[in-house]
């Protein structure tokens, strides 16, 4: 399994890979209102990942974030057309920790000895079921990014409240607000409504709010480790995000 990293371009012109940049650095730059941009993997990046194996490969499955929010699926599809081995490109219809659960489902099938098409089917099944709900500390980053329609970002809510969003099937939708003291309970309610259960695959994630994330994990009773948002995800959502992704049973 390989991760094709996203580039991070800072205001001083330096470019680094997402997997080498501390998320805190991006957060500080955003707080200072410095220009920071993410750069998606190129066609060549994907092609190198597909063909750069030392051992023979008979099939490659590429899992990308939802096509509505990034050009990665298009870049990967173009790379697949150029590759010398069969490549299946799958839009996971989600991103971040939820995409990670789709990758895990595919990796488990591959580790069990399944062929490429079976691995791809496992990814499609997980992508069709995976859910994600998160509480944002602020809407300013989403307002500036243009990833959501203005009506869903209207208003700021009461002082100290957090806006909750769900991400599934390629759509990000507002699902309510919660006071700071009630955000864990609000996330638990959405998790339960969506088929969440301690026995199903899950991931608790955050963008610098480890305390709330740990409280959420305890409340849900899941054993998954806490996942820190990458620099790229912090860039697109802003610091302070906390949430849970899961694959409901059945």
Q: What is the residue-averaged pLDDT of the chain?
A: 89
Q: Which helix (H) or strand (E) holds 230?
A: none
CATH architecture of the domain with range 131-246? 2-Layer Sandwich (3.30)
The tens digit of pLDDT for each residue in 158-210 reads 556 899 999 988 888 899 999 999 999 999 999 999 999 999 999 999 998 99
Longest dimension (CA), the chain: 58
C-alpha distances (whole Å) from 113 to each of 119, 125, 126 are 9, 18, 18
Look at residue 154 and tell me whether its pLDDT is greater than 50.
Answer: no
Mean pLDDT throughout 231-242?
88
Interhelix angle 210-220/183-193, rounded to 10 degrees, is 40
CATH number of 40-129: 3.40.50.10170
Instruction: Give which of 51, 49, 68 is closest to 5, Cα–Cα.
Output: 49
Residue that wins the pLDDT comparison between 134 and 13: 134
Domains of the chain: which residue ranges? 40-129, 131-246
At 221, the pLDDT band (50, 70, 90 cuts) reads very high
Cβ atoms of residues 108 and 80 within 8 Å: no
CATH fold match for the domains 40-129 and 131-246 = no
d(CA 240, CA 135): 8
204 Cβ contact list (under 8 Å, min separation 6): 97, 213, 216, 217, 220, 222, 224, 225, 226, 227, 243, 244
At 153, the pLDDT band (50, 70, 90 cuts) reads very low
- pTM of the entire structure? 0.89
Long-range contacts of 176-182 (CB under 8 A, 24+ apart): 178/135
Q: Give me the phi and psi of 222, to 5 degrees please.
A: -95, 155
What pLDDT, on the 0 to 100 scale, is given for residue 141?
A: 53
Q: What is the side-by-side strand order in the sheet with 15-17?
A: 15-17, 7-9, 37-39
């Amino acid at each position: 399994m390989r991760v094709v990293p996203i580039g991070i371009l800072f205001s001083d012109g330096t470019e680094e890979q997402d997997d080498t940049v501390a998320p805190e650095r991006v957060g500080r730059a955003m707080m200072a209102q410095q220009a920071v941009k993410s750069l998606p993997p190129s066609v060549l990046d994907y092609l190198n990942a597909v063909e750069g194996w030392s051992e023979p490969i008979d099939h490659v499955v590429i899992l990308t974030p939802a096509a509505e929010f990034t050009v990665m699926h298009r870049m990967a599809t173009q790379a697949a057309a150029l590759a010398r081995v069969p490549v299946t490109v799958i839009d996971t219809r989600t991103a971040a920790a939820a995409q990670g659960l789709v990758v895990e489902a595919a990796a488990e099938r591959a580790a069990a000895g399944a062929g490429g098409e079976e691995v791809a089917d496992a990814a499609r099944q997980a992508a069709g079921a995976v859910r994600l709900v998160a509480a944002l500390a602020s809407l300013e980053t989403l307002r500036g990014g243009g990833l959501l329609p203005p009506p869903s970002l209207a208003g700021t809510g009461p002082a100290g409240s957090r806006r909750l969003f769900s991400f599934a099937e390629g759509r990000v939708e507002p699902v309510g607000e919660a006071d700071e003291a009630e955000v864990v309970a609000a996330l638990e309610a959405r998790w339960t409504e969506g088929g969440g259960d301690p026995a199903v695959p899950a991931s608790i994630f955050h963008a610098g709010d480890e305390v709330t994330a740990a409280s959420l994990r305890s409340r849900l009773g899941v054993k998954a480790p806490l996942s820190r948002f990458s620099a790229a995800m912090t860039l697109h959502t802003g610091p302070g995000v906390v949430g849970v992704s899961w694959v409901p049973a059945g």
